[in-house]
Amino acid sequence: MSMERDLFITEVALRDGSHAIAHQFTVEQVTRVARALGEAHVPYIEVSHGDGLGGSSLQYGLSRTNEMELIEAAVSVSGESKVAVLVLPGIGTVRELKEAAKLGVKMARIATHVTEADVSAQHIQTARELGLETVGFLMMAHMAPVEKLVEQAALMESCGAETVYIVDSAGALLPHQVRERVRALRQRLRVHVGFHGHNNLSLAMANTLAAIEEGATRIDGSMRCLGAGAGNTQTEVLVAVLEKLGIKTGIDVYKLMDAAEEIVAPILAAPQEITRDSLVLGYAGVYSSFLLHARRAAQTFSLDSRDILMEVGRRKVVGGQEDMIVDIAAELARQKTGAAVNQEERYG
Ligand SMILES: CC[C@H](O)CC(=O)C(=O)O
Ligand SMILES: [Mn+2]
Protein backbone atom coordinates (compact mmCIF):
# COMPACT_ATOMS: atom_id res chain seq x y z
CA MET A 1 0.00 0.00 0.00
CA SER A 2 1.51 3.38 -0.91
CA MET A 3 1.00 6.20 1.57
CA GLU A 4 0.79 9.90 0.94
CA ARG A 5 3.42 11.53 3.14
CA ASP A 6 4.58 15.14 3.41
CA LEU A 7 7.49 14.00 5.55
CA PHE A 8 9.10 10.75 6.64
CA ILE A 9 9.39 9.68 10.26
CA THR A 10 12.06 7.35 11.57
CA GLU A 11 11.12 5.68 14.85
CA VAL A 12 14.27 5.35 16.94
CA ALA A 13 13.04 3.73 20.19
CA LEU A 14 14.66 0.43 19.19
CA ARG A 15 18.04 2.16 18.77
CA ASP A 16 18.19 5.42 20.77
CA GLY A 17 16.01 3.74 23.41
CA SER A 18 18.71 1.14 23.82
CA HIS A 19 20.74 3.73 25.80
CA ALA A 20 17.84 4.23 28.23
CA ILE A 21 17.61 0.53 29.06
CA ALA A 22 21.37 -0.15 29.11
CA HIS A 23 21.16 -2.06 25.78
CA GLN A 24 18.98 -4.82 27.23
CA PHE A 25 16.47 -5.29 24.38
CA THR A 26 15.27 -8.84 23.81
CA VAL A 27 14.18 -10.42 20.52
CA GLU A 28 10.64 -10.61 21.88
CA GLN A 29 10.49 -6.88 22.70
CA VAL A 30 11.93 -5.87 19.35
CA THR A 31 9.56 -8.19 17.50
CA ARG A 32 6.51 -6.76 19.23
CA VAL A 33 7.54 -3.13 18.73
CA ALA A 34 8.59 -3.58 15.09
CA ARG A 35 5.41 -5.48 14.20
CA ALA A 36 3.26 -2.74 15.74
CA LEU A 37 5.22 -0.01 13.92
CA GLY A 38 4.77 -1.88 10.65
CA GLU A 39 1.02 -2.14 11.27
CA ALA A 40 0.90 1.60 11.99
CA HIS A 41 2.71 2.29 8.65
CA VAL A 42 5.70 4.03 10.19
CA PRO A 43 8.09 4.40 7.21
CA TYR A 44 11.41 3.68 8.97
CA ILE A 45 12.29 1.75 12.11
CA GLU A 46 15.84 2.08 13.40
CA VAL A 47 17.32 -0.96 15.16
CA SER A 48 20.83 -1.41 16.55
CA HIS A 49 22.88 -0.94 19.69
CA GLY A 50 22.41 2.61 21.03
CA ASP A 51 25.87 3.54 19.75
CA GLY A 52 25.14 1.95 16.41
CA LEU A 53 26.35 -1.28 14.82
CA GLY A 54 29.24 -2.78 16.74
CA GLY A 55 28.52 -0.64 19.79
CA SER A 56 28.30 -3.58 22.19
CA SER A 57 31.49 -3.20 24.24
CA LEU A 58 32.73 -2.38 27.73
CA GLN A 59 33.22 1.25 26.64
CA TYR A 60 29.62 1.77 25.47
CA GLY A 61 27.76 -1.02 27.27
CA LEU A 62 27.29 -4.67 26.39
CA SER A 63 24.13 -5.67 24.56
CA ARG A 64 22.01 -8.38 26.05
CA THR A 65 21.20 -9.72 22.57
CA ASN A 66 23.35 -9.69 19.44
CA GLU A 67 22.04 -6.75 17.41
CA MET A 68 22.01 -8.79 14.19
CA GLU A 69 19.42 -11.07 15.84
CA LEU A 70 17.38 -8.00 16.76
CA ILE A 71 17.64 -6.62 13.23
CA GLU A 72 16.64 -9.95 11.70
CA ALA A 73 13.62 -10.13 14.01
CA ALA A 74 12.56 -6.56 13.13
CA VAL A 75 12.90 -7.14 9.39
CA SER A 76 10.82 -10.31 9.58
CA VAL A 77 7.76 -8.58 11.10
CA SER A 78 7.89 -4.97 9.93
CA GLY A 79 5.86 -5.41 6.75
CA GLU A 80 6.28 -2.46 4.42
CA SER A 81 8.16 -0.40 6.98
CA LYS A 82 11.88 -0.28 6.28
CA VAL A 83 14.44 -1.15 8.90
CA ALA A 84 17.32 1.30 9.32
CA VAL A 85 20.63 1.00 11.17
CA LEU A 86 22.92 3.60 12.68
CA VAL A 87 26.66 3.32 12.08
CA LEU A 88 29.40 5.40 13.70
CA PRO A 89 32.60 4.99 11.66
CA GLY A 90 35.27 3.84 14.10
CA ILE A 91 32.74 1.78 16.02
CA GLY A 92 30.72 0.08 13.27
CA THR A 93 32.65 -1.36 10.35
CA VAL A 94 31.81 -1.86 6.70
CA ARG A 95 31.64 -5.60 7.42
CA GLU A 96 28.78 -5.05 9.87
CA LEU A 97 27.05 -2.74 7.41
CA LYS A 98 27.18 -5.48 4.78
CA GLU A 99 25.86 -8.04 7.25
CA ALA A 100 22.93 -5.77 8.11
CA ALA A 101 22.17 -5.20 4.42
CA LYS A 102 22.10 -8.97 3.87
CA LEU A 103 19.52 -9.26 6.63
CA GLY A 104 17.21 -6.90 4.75
CA VAL A 105 18.03 -3.48 6.20
CA LYS A 106 17.10 -0.72 3.73
CA MET A 107 18.59 2.42 5.23
CA ALA A 108 21.98 3.26 6.75
CA ARG A 109 22.51 6.37 8.85
CA ILE A 110 26.18 7.25 9.06
CA ALA A 111 26.85 9.30 12.18
CA THR A 112 29.82 11.48 13.04
CA HIS A 113 30.57 14.30 15.43
CA VAL A 114 29.45 17.56 13.83
CA THR A 115 32.99 18.58 12.88
CA GLU A 116 34.17 15.15 11.67
CA ALA A 117 32.12 14.41 8.56
CA ASP A 118 35.31 13.46 6.69
CA VAL A 119 35.40 10.10 8.48
CA SER A 120 32.02 9.16 6.98
CA ALA A 121 33.14 8.93 3.34
CA GLN A 122 33.90 5.20 3.17
CA HIS A 123 30.75 4.18 5.05
CA ILE A 124 28.52 6.47 2.97
CA GLN A 125 29.99 5.14 -0.27
CA THR A 126 29.64 1.51 0.86
CA ALA A 127 26.04 2.09 1.93
CA ARG A 128 25.26 3.52 -1.53
CA GLU A 129 26.99 0.60 -3.26
CA LEU A 130 24.85 -1.77 -1.19
CA GLY A 131 21.77 0.00 -2.53
CA LEU A 132 20.79 1.39 0.88
CA GLU A 133 19.08 4.72 1.39
CA THR A 134 21.95 6.69 2.88
CA VAL A 135 21.77 9.36 5.53
CA GLY A 136 24.50 11.55 7.03
CA PHE A 137 23.90 12.17 10.75
CA LEU A 138 25.78 15.15 12.23
CA MET A 139 25.76 14.69 15.99
CA MET A 140 26.19 17.29 18.76
CA ALA A 141 25.05 19.97 16.31
CA HIS A 142 25.01 22.62 19.05
CA MET A 143 28.83 22.44 19.29
CA ALA A 144 29.55 23.95 15.88
CA PRO A 145 28.73 27.34 14.41
CA VAL A 146 26.18 27.30 11.59
CA GLU A 147 28.84 27.78 8.86
CA LYS A 148 30.78 24.76 10.08
CA LEU A 149 27.64 22.63 10.17
CA VAL A 150 26.84 23.66 6.59
CA GLU A 151 30.38 22.83 5.44
CA GLN A 152 30.24 19.39 7.07
CA ALA A 153 26.77 18.65 5.70
CA ALA A 154 27.94 19.60 2.21
CA LEU A 155 30.85 17.20 2.63
CA MET A 156 28.46 14.36 3.49
CA GLU A 157 26.34 15.29 0.48
CA SER A 158 29.39 15.21 -1.78
CA CYS A 159 30.22 11.71 -0.48
CA GLY A 160 26.77 10.49 -1.53
CA ALA A 161 24.44 11.10 1.44
CA GLU A 162 20.85 11.49 0.23
CA THR A 163 19.74 13.18 3.44
CA VAL A 164 21.70 15.05 6.09
CA TYR A 165 20.40 15.25 9.64
CA ILE A 166 20.98 17.93 12.23
CA VAL A 167 21.28 15.90 15.42
CA ASP A 168 20.67 17.65 18.71
CA SER A 169 22.35 14.87 20.70
CA ALA A 170 22.46 16.89 23.92
CA GLY A 171 18.96 18.35 23.60
CA ALA A 172 20.73 21.71 23.98
CA LEU A 173 19.47 23.62 20.96
CA LEU A 174 16.78 26.30 21.25
CA PRO A 175 14.08 26.66 18.59
CA HIS A 176 15.64 29.72 16.91
CA GLN A 177 18.96 27.85 16.68
CA VAL A 178 17.27 24.88 15.03
CA ARG A 179 15.54 27.24 12.63
CA GLU A 180 18.74 28.93 11.52
CA ARG A 181 20.54 25.61 11.09
CA VAL A 182 17.79 24.00 9.00
CA ARG A 183 17.43 27.17 6.92
CA ALA A 184 21.16 27.30 6.22
CA LEU A 185 21.28 23.64 5.21
CA ARG A 186 18.23 24.02 2.98
CA GLN A 187 19.88 26.95 1.22
CA ARG A 188 23.12 25.08 0.57
CA LEU A 189 22.16 21.41 0.04
CA ARG A 190 20.23 19.72 -2.73
CA VAL A 191 19.46 16.66 -0.59
CA HIS A 192 16.83 16.25 2.13
CA VAL A 193 17.35 17.78 5.56
CA GLY A 194 16.44 15.88 8.73
CA PHE A 195 16.15 16.68 12.42
CA HIS A 196 16.70 14.46 15.48
CA GLY A 197 15.86 16.03 18.84
CA HIS A 198 16.26 15.20 22.53
CA ASN A 199 13.90 16.46 25.20
CA ASN A 200 16.30 17.41 28.00
CA LEU A 201 15.14 21.04 27.98
CA SER A 202 11.55 20.06 27.14
CA LEU A 203 12.08 21.49 23.64
CA ALA A 204 12.10 18.39 21.46
CA MET A 205 8.60 19.01 20.10
CA ALA A 206 9.09 22.78 19.66
CA ASN A 207 12.45 22.20 17.95
CA THR A 208 11.00 19.53 15.69
CA LEU A 209 8.15 21.80 14.62
CA ALA A 210 10.62 24.63 14.00
CA ALA A 211 12.68 22.27 11.82
CA ILE A 212 9.61 21.20 9.87
CA GLU A 213 8.52 24.82 9.36
CA GLU A 214 11.95 25.51 7.87
CA GLY A 215 11.61 22.60 5.47
CA ALA A 216 13.06 19.53 7.21
CA THR A 217 11.28 16.48 5.78
CA ARG A 218 13.07 13.66 7.60
CA ILE A 219 12.17 13.57 11.27
CA ASP A 220 12.99 11.28 14.20
CA GLY A 221 10.90 10.37 17.20
CA SER A 222 10.66 7.70 19.87
CA MET A 223 7.46 6.36 21.32
CA ARG A 224 7.02 7.25 24.99
CA CYS A 225 10.30 9.19 24.63
CA LEU A 226 12.21 5.89 24.78
CA GLY A 227 15.58 7.42 23.95
CA ALA A 228 18.75 8.60 25.66
CA GLY A 229 18.53 11.28 28.36
CA ALA A 230 14.95 12.51 28.63
CA GLY A 231 14.31 10.79 25.31
CA ASN A 232 13.43 12.06 21.85
CA THR A 233 10.44 13.85 20.39
CA GLN A 234 7.54 11.59 21.37
CA THR A 235 6.49 9.96 18.09
CA GLU A 236 2.82 9.30 18.82
CA VAL A 237 2.39 12.88 20.06
CA LEU A 238 4.25 14.28 17.05
CA VAL A 239 2.08 12.33 14.61
CA ALA A 240 -1.08 13.64 16.30
CA VAL A 241 0.24 17.23 16.26
CA LEU A 242 1.22 16.98 12.60
CA GLU A 243 -2.19 15.60 11.73
CA LYS A 244 -3.77 18.66 13.42
CA LEU A 245 -1.45 20.85 11.35
CA GLY A 246 -2.58 19.14 8.16
CA ILE A 247 0.86 17.58 7.58
CA LYS A 248 0.58 14.02 6.26
CA THR A 249 2.82 11.38 7.83
CA GLY A 250 0.94 8.36 6.45
CA ILE A 251 0.98 6.89 9.98
CA ASP A 252 -2.07 5.47 11.76
CA VAL A 253 -2.07 7.58 14.91
CA TYR A 254 -4.44 5.34 16.86
CA LYS A 255 -2.33 2.24 16.21
CA LEU A 256 0.77 4.18 17.20
CA MET A 257 -0.83 5.32 20.46
CA ASP A 258 -1.72 1.70 21.23
CA ALA A 259 1.83 0.53 20.49
CA ALA A 260 3.27 3.24 22.73
CA GLU A 261 0.93 2.48 25.62
CA GLU A 262 0.70 -1.30 25.45
CA ILE A 263 4.11 -2.36 24.12
CA VAL A 264 6.68 0.37 24.76
CA ALA A 265 5.55 1.69 28.16
CA PRO A 266 6.00 -1.72 29.85
CA ILE A 267 9.61 -1.88 28.59
CA LEU A 268 10.55 1.17 30.66
CA ALA A 269 11.41 0.65 34.33
CA ALA A 270 9.85 4.08 34.98
CA PRO A 271 8.16 6.56 32.62
CA GLN A 272 10.61 8.86 30.85
CA GLU A 273 10.67 12.28 32.45
CA ILE A 274 13.00 15.25 32.70
CA THR A 275 14.93 14.48 35.85
CA ARG A 276 17.44 16.89 37.39
CA ASP A 277 20.35 15.10 35.73
CA SER A 278 18.75 14.74 32.29
CA LEU A 279 17.95 18.46 32.49
CA VAL A 280 21.67 19.09 33.07
CA LEU A 281 22.47 17.27 29.79
CA GLY A 282 20.61 19.98 27.87
CA TYR A 283 21.77 22.77 30.15
CA ALA A 284 25.46 21.86 29.92
CA GLY A 285 25.37 20.52 26.35
CA VAL A 286 26.31 16.91 27.11
CA TYR A 287 25.63 13.82 24.99
CA SER A 288 22.32 12.31 26.09
CA SER A 289 23.81 8.81 25.98
CA PHE A 290 26.16 9.79 28.83
CA LEU A 291 23.33 9.84 31.37
CA LEU A 292 23.49 6.25 32.65
CA HIS A 293 27.31 6.30 32.55
CA ALA A 294 27.29 9.42 34.76
CA ARG A 295 24.74 7.91 37.13
CA ARG A 296 26.87 4.79 37.56
CA ALA A 297 30.01 6.86 38.14
CA ALA A 298 28.13 9.03 40.66
CA GLN A 299 27.15 5.94 42.59
CA THR A 300 30.66 4.47 42.52
CA PHE A 301 32.30 7.68 43.76
CA SER A 302 29.43 8.96 45.98
CA LEU A 303 28.95 12.10 43.91
CA ASP A 304 26.04 14.06 42.48
CA SER A 305 25.63 13.02 38.81
CA ARG A 306 24.98 16.69 37.97
CA ASP A 307 28.48 17.66 39.09
CA ILE A 308 29.99 15.03 36.83
CA LEU A 309 27.85 16.07 33.85
CA MET A 310 28.60 19.77 34.34
CA GLU A 311 32.33 19.02 34.27
CA VAL A 312 31.89 16.74 31.22
CA GLY A 313 30.16 19.68 29.51
CA ARG A 314 32.88 22.14 30.54
CA ARG A 315 35.56 19.87 29.05
CA LYS A 316 33.53 19.37 25.86
CA VAL A 317 33.75 15.59 26.07
CA VAL A 318 32.22 13.96 22.98
CA GLY A 319 30.94 10.53 21.96
CA GLY A 320 33.63 7.89 22.08
CA GLN A 321 35.16 9.41 25.20
CA GLU A 322 32.86 7.64 27.66
CA ASP A 323 35.90 6.53 29.72
CA MET A 324 36.46 10.22 30.52
CA ILE A 325 33.29 10.17 32.61
CA VAL A 326 34.91 7.80 35.11
CA ASP A 327 38.18 9.78 35.03
CA ILE A 328 36.31 13.00 35.77
CA ALA A 329 34.31 11.37 38.57
CA ALA A 330 37.51 10.01 40.14
CA GLU A 331 39.09 13.46 39.96
CA LEU A 332 36.05 15.14 41.52
CA ALA A 333 36.01 12.52 44.27
CA ARG A 334 39.73 13.14 44.99
CA GLN A 335 39.09 16.90 45.15
CA LYS A 336 36.18 16.31 47.51
CA THR A 337 38.27 14.09 49.80
CA GLY A 338 41.13 16.60 49.66
CA ALA A 339 38.79 19.43 50.61
CA ALA A 340 37.38 17.40 53.51
CA VAL A 341 40.90 16.59 54.78
CA ASN A 342 41.90 20.28 54.57
CA GLN A 343 38.77 21.25 56.46
CA GLU A 344 39.54 18.62 59.12
CA GLU A 345 43.16 19.83 59.49
CA ARG A 346 42.12 23.46 59.70
CA TYR A 347 39.19 23.21 62.08
CA GLY A 348 39.73 19.81 63.72
C1 LIG B 1 26.04 7.53 20.40
C2 LIG B 1 25.15 7.63 19.21
C3 LIG B 1 24.04 8.58 19.50
O4 LIG B 1 23.15 8.02 20.43
C5 LIG B 1 23.34 8.96 18.23
C6 LIG B 1 22.20 9.85 18.54
O7 LIG B 1 21.05 9.43 18.53
C8 LIG B 1 22.45 11.21 18.97
O9 LIG B 1 23.59 11.70 18.84
O10 LIG B 1 21.50 11.83 19.46
MN1 LIG C 1 19.75 10.53 19.86
How is the chain split into domains, by residue range? Answer: 8-267, 289-347
Question: What spacing in Å lies between the alpha carbon of 77 and ligand 1's midpoint?
Answer: 25
Beta bridge partners of 45: 11, 83
What is the mean predicted confidence (pLDDT) over 224-229?
98
Amino acid (one-letter) located at 177: Q
Q: Considering only CA atoms, which residue is closest to atom 1 of ligand 1?
A: 51
Q: Considering only CA atoms, which residue is closest to atom 10 of ligand 1?
A: 169
Question: What spacing in Å lies between the alpha carbon of 164 and ligand 2's midpoint?
Answer: 15
Asked if domains 8-267 and 289-347 share a fold, the reply is no
**Inter-residue contact 214 to 183 (CB < 8 Å):** yes
Question: What spacing in Å lies between the alpha carbon of 45 and ligand 2's midpoint?
Answer: 14
pLDDT tens column, 309-336: 999 999 999 988 999 999 999 999 999 9
293 is in an annotated binding site: no
List active site positions.
19
Query: What pLDDT is recorded for position 341?
Result: 73
Query: What pLDDT is recorded for position 2?
Result: 61
44 is in an annotated binding site: no
Question: What spacing in Å lies between the alpha carbon of 128 and ligand 1's midpoint?
Answer: 22
296 is in an annotated binding site: no
Q: Does residue 61 register a pLDDT over 70?
A: yes
Q: Supply the mean pLDDT for the chain.
A: 97
169 is in an annotated binding site: yes
Of 1-5, 137-141, 223-227, 319-323, least confident by mean pLDDT is: 1-5
Query: What pLDDT is recorded for position 161?
Result: 98
- Reading phi first (left if > 0) and then psi (alpha if -120 to 50, else beta), residue 96 is in alpha
Q: Considering only CA atoms, which residue is closest to atom 9 of ligand 1?
A: 169
Give the ligand with the smallest distance to the CA of 52. 1
Query: What pLDDT is recorded for position 340?
Result: 73
| Share of residues in the chain with pLDDT > 70 (%) | 99
Position in ligand 1 atom list of the atom nearest CA 139: 9
| Share of residues in the chain with pLDDT > 90 (%) | 95
Global ipTM: 0.99
pLDDT tens column, 197-206: 999 999 999 9
- This prediction has a pTM of 0.96
Question: What spacing in Å lies between the alpha carbon of 4 and ligand 1's midpoint?
Answer: 29
Q: Considering only CA atoms, which residue is closest to atom 2 of ligand 1?
A: 51
Residues with CB under 6 Å of ligand 1 are 16, 50-51, 111, 139, 167, 169, 196, 228, 288-289, 319
Q: Which CATH number fits domain 8-267: 2.60.120.260, 3.40.50.970, 1.10.760.10, 3.20.20.70?
A: 3.20.20.70
Position in ligand 1 atom list of the atom nearest CA 196: 10
What is the mean predicted confidence (pLDDT) over 287-310?
98
Q: Considering only CA atoms, which residue is closest to atom 6 of ligand 1?
A: 169
pLDDT band at 342 (very low <50, low <70, confident <90, very high): confident
* Count of CA atoms in the C-beta half-sphere (13 A) of 289: 27
Position in ligand 1 atom list of the atom nearest CA 19: 4
Dist. CA 43–CA 235, nearest whole Å: 12
**Fold of the domain spanning 289-347:** Helicase, Ruva Protein; domain 3 (1.10.8)
